[in-house]
């Protein structure tokens, strides 16, 4: 069996689900535009430059989940999928996932974005396995805190190894392993798979991929 790993934001999606979730909440009047829009944009720029303070960002990102009942969050998320996400799921992304599905590969979305936001998106792509940053829940409601290690930078590798260990597997048990990503933040995981693929990469990843002779592809329509 082969293993195909996909980053989500700006890789399978033609955009960033994290950034767009905050923008969606602002547009719905859930978050104050003046207080949140500039911070959201700053965190996004820090992410793209590789300087993101993941813990400060998660405090910002997860706090709104703790301020509303799960039923309301789920209703907002359905609207978010309709108005923001489905239009970011390109034909090329769907075709890439389908190619790996037809090959019988084990597929996973592995993303730094929290699993509340990303689990429905992974399901929309028809991918059952997800590693995302886990928001803490108590009695089905979010606390605003994180459970475990954020799946960011080296944390993606740690979380993937733990997931495989729980299955009684390691990367070496697969005939081939693939990881598709756009981001310099994913270099730790790109370096440990058999087939790293740079997807519409940022400048740093593009330069690294060109030097390492990794494939560079685009999933934009």
Mean pLDDT throughout 105-126?
98
Per-residue pLDDT at 146: 96
Per-residue pLDDT at 40: 87
CB contact at 8 A, 162 and 134: no
CB contact at 8 A, 24 and 84: yes
Q: Is the pLDDT of residue 221 over 90?
A: no
Domain count across the chain: 1
Mean pLDDT throughout 7-33?
95
> Is pTM beyond 0.85 here?
yes
Would you report the helix, strand and coil content of the chain in percent, each value rounded to 5? 55, 20, 25
Is 7 designated active site? yes
User: 125 falls in which pLDDT band (50, 70, 90)?
Assistant: very high
Per-residue pLDDT at 34: 86
Specify burial of residue 78 (Cβ count, 10 A radius: 0-12, 13-18, 19+): exposed
Nearest-5° Cα angle at 104, 98 to 109: 60
The residue with tokens 């992304």 is 93
Mean pLDDT throughout 192-213?
98
Q: State the CATH number of the domain containing residue 190.
A: 3.40.50.1000
Catalytic residue, from 7, 18, 182, 186: name it: 7
Is 16 designated active site? no
Per-residue pLDDT at 217: 98
What are the residues facing 198 on neighbouring strands? Answer: 181, 216
Per-residue pLDDT at 37: 87
pLDDT in tens, 137-150: 999 999 999 999 99
Q: Is the pLDDT of residue 194 over 90?
A: yes
pLDDT in tens, 21-77: 999 999 999 999 988 888 888 998 999 899 999 999 989 889 999 999 999 999 999
Per-residue pLDDT at 18: 92
Catalytic residue, from 9, 16, 18, 202: name it: 9
Domain that holds residue 213: 3-217
Per-residue pLDDT at 144: 96
């Amino acid at each position: 069996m082969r293993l195909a790993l996909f980053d989500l934001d700006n890789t399978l999606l033609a955009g960033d689900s994290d950034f767009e979730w905050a923008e969606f909440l602002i547009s719905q009047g859930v978050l104050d535009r003046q207080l949140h829009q500039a911070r959201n944009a700053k965190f996004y720029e820090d992410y793209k430059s590789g300087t993101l303070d993941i813990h400060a960002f998660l405090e910002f990102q997860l706090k709104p989940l703790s301020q509303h009942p799960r039923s309301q969050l789920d209703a907002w998320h359905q609207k978010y999928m309709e108005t923001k996400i489905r239009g970011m799921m390109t034909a090329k992304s769907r075709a890439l996932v389908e190619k790996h599905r037809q090959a019988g590969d084990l597929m996973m979305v592995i993303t730094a974005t929290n699993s509340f936001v990303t689990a429905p998106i992974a399901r929309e792509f028809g991918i059952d396995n997800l590693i995302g940053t886990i928001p803490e829940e108590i009695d089905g409601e979010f606390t605003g805190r994180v459970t475990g290690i954020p799946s960011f930078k080296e944390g993606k590798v740690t979380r993937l190894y733990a997931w495989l260990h729980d299955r009684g597997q390691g990367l070496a048990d697969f005939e081939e392993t693939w990881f598709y990503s756009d981001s310099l933040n994913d270099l730790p995981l790109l370096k440990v798979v058999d087939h790293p693929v740079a997807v519409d990469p940022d400048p740093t990843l593009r330069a690294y991929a060109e030097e390492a002779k990794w494939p560079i592809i685009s999933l934009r329509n």
